[in-house]
Structure 1
Amino acid sequence: MTAPSSGTGSARIHRLAEVGLLVDLADLDAVLAVDAALRRAREDGDPRLAEVLDILPAARTLLLTVPAGADLDPVEEAVRRLDVDPSASAADEAPTVEIPVVYDGPDLADVARHTGLSEAEVVAAHTGTPWRAAFGGFAPGFFYLTGGDPRLEVPRRSEPRTAVPDGAVALAGEFSAVYPRRSPGGWQLLGHTDARMWDDARTPPALLAPGVLVRFVEGEAS
């Protein structure tokens, strides 16, 4: 196991007026490691992070928001002096969410063609490796999932659809995702799920959160 490093290394930290910090990092792995370290420090009661309202990871950046007028000096100090464990984002204790999928998507054959796999092998690859919720996307409940079988890396569709149904399970690039609502989209559609990715009546409303493991399970059409 790699020993934790002191601080965030070559990260660049930008102040967003009086409402937060934007941390520029090298790649998604670095984002996930710093995100895990910040959440752990906040849960442990680090007083420098007491006023942080939210921690929002993206592909290569991490946003920390605070109330307007809050003192950003201690927050920045906490980030700069953070003990970052590169393996923390893959911790065994991360919660796992199972999502049942009916693999009847209109792009399943195209994904098989792109990858050189059979359709059954695409399904086996998608369900055989756990994915990790890395960061949120364009709609509430939409999460970019990373860490799946590398054979499933496929391009977006050359012509996006004007409407993708809610619950569509999809691939694009190195990511998988579930559409939480009907919307335009250019991802390759593998199938669909009845799992509610966003529910205003649920606490919290999002089914997933950064760091959560996702395991897709093949189901049958009802």
Structure 2
Amino acid sequence: MRLRRCGSEAVLVEVDSLGEVAAVRVAVRAAELPEVVDVVPAARTVLVSVRPGAGLAGVRRVLDGVDLGHVVEVASREVRIPVRYDGPDLDLVARTAELSTAEVVELHSGTEYEVAFCGFAPGFGYLVGLPEVLRQPRLDSPRTKVPAGSVAIAGEFTAAYPRATPGGWRLLGRTDAVLFDPRRDEPALLAPGDRVRFEVAG
């Protein structure tokens, strides 16, 4: 674990894996330090920010006690997202995995995922737990516009696009779920630590 100070009110924690990111995120959240205002995980870092003037001593004490090899189980939300599996890359994913399209759908929808972190666009959650056989690289040529609601895979992640953006992930299907709405109390549907299941829509 490496700590990099970000001004007087934040510290960037650098680690080596998504599992270690989860260990840091869960430990800082579980400590319920009153001075902590935000915990922002990414692929290999966690940014922890505190109230102006509060200092980082309490955060550092928590970080000193983190066991990077162990993630404490905490209560988390379960989010279900309906999906129509009719994406333009479904056949490509099936051929690459040497599966039928029905088997791809069964594997993808039959797995429980966890939101590791959010980024790229507001409401875009990177979900881990994708079955090994479905882990495939991004497309050689990214699309200039991926439709909002597209459900996709790339590498070890799966995700749903909250809005239309460029992207190179392989598209399995689409959902009508509103993944980001700035008018809601919690604009993003998904948050780090949430458990997610994709359900086959009729």
Which TM-score tier does this pair reach, normalised by the shorter chain? over 0.9
Aligned counterpart in structure 2 of residue 160 of structure 1, from 130, 142, 145: 142
Distance 1:87 1:12 in 2: 18
Match of 1:147 in 2: 129
Match of 1:57 in 2: 41
* 1:83, distance to aligned residue in structure 2 (A): 5.9
Distance 1:67 1:87 in 2: 26
CA 67–87 in structure 1, closer or farther in 2 if over 3 Å, else same: closer
Distance 1:127 1:87 in 2: 25
* 1:84, distance to aligned residue in structure 2 (A): 6.2
CA shift digits 1:19-77 (9 cap, x unpaired): 301111121011112211211111xxxxxx32211001111111101244441222212
Give 1:50's aligned amino acid.
P
Match of 2:164 in 1: 182
How high is the TM-score relative to the length of structure 1? 0.86
CA 198–117 in structure 1, closer or farther in 2 if over 3 Å, else same: same
Q: 4+ runs of 1 displaced by more than 4 Å?
A: none
CA 201–173 in structure 1, closer or farther in 2 if over 3 Å, else same: same
1:88 aligns with 2:72: yes
Q: When the two structures are aligned, how many residues end up with a matched partner?
A: 202
Q: Match of 1:158, SS? A: coil
Asked if the contact 2:27–2:62 (Cα under 8 Å) also holds between the matched residues in 1, the reply is no
Percentage of identical aligned residues: 50
Match of 1:32 in 2: 22
Match of 1:114 in 2: 96
CA shift digits 1:86-115 (9 cap, x unpaired): 2425x5x42210000000100001111111
Asked if the contact 2:114–2:127 (Cα under 8 Å) also holds between the matched residues in 1, the reply is yes
Distance 1:71 1:80 in 2: 16
1:125 aligns with 2:107: yes
Distance 2:9 2:71 in 1: 30
Distance 2:30 2:68 in 1: 10
Structure 2 unaligned runs (5+)? none
RMSD across aligned C-alpha pairs, in angstroms? Answer: 1.5
Q: Match of 2:177, SS? A: coil
Give 1:171's aligned amino acid.
I
Give 1:54's aligned amino acid.
D
Match of 1:212 in 2: 194
Distance 2:72 2:50 in 1: 24
Asked if the contact 1:171–1:177 (Cα under 8 Å) also holds between the matched residues in 2, the reply is yes
How high is the TM-score relative to the length of structure 2? 0.94
1:21 aligns with 2:5: no
Distance 1:165 1:139 in 2: 13
Q: Match of 1:88, SS? A: coil
Asked if the contact 1:18–1:70 (Cα under 8 Å) also holds between the matched residues in 2, the reply is no
CA 38–84 in structure 1, closer or farther in 2 if over 3 Å, else same: farther
